[in-house]
């Protein structure tokens, strides 16, 4: 655990973009077993790249870890870094999934984003790894 740089520390500055943020991991003690870990972020915010209007949504990350697990505080800071970024909802969900895969090399992962209505339409985006579909709607 000594390689975790965020856990237990007060953070005064936040990354200004996901490219500046980093996801940290720790060793999965139960790597011989399949089990799901779920993170639920009901306060996700980003900016529409076309209108500059804020997008509010809920991001849910589910994954089966292999050798590494994601550390929650670094994930919180990573998700926070989207707040001033102009990005489409579809791109945000896929970028988050790519970051989860890169950081932890999970056996399976799924990121879904349920975005609040703007103009009377809400959007739900779900991306999976490996490329599987999971029709839960």
Report the 10 Å Cβ neighbour count for 17.
Answer: 12
**SS percent in the chain: helix, strand, coil, step 5:** 20, 35, 45
**Which residues have a catalytic role annotated?**
48, 55
For the chain, give the longest Cα–Cα distance: 48
Tell me the two tokens of residue 51. Answer: 């209108």
Alpha helix (H) residue ranges in 1-137: 72-80, 89-104
The whole-angstrom separation of Cα 7 and Cα 116 is 31
């Amino acid at each position: 655990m000594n390689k975790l740089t965020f856990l237990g520390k007060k953070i005064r500055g936040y990354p200004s973009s996901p490219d500046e943020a980093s996801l940290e991991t720790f060793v999965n003690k139960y790597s011989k077993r399949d089990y799901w870990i779920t993170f639920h972020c009901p306060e996700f915010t980003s900016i529409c790249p076309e209108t500059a209007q804020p997008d509010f949504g809920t991001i849910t990350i589910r994954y089966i870890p292999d050798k590494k697990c994601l550390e929650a505080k670094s994930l919180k800071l990573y998700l926070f870094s989207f707040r001033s970024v102009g990005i489409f909802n579809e791109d945000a969900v896929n970028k988050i999934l790519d970051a989860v895969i890169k950081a932890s090399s999970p056996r399976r992962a799924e990121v879904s984003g349920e975005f609040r209505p703007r103009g009377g339409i809400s959007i739900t985006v779900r991306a999976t790894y490996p490329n599987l579909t999971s029709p839960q709607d």
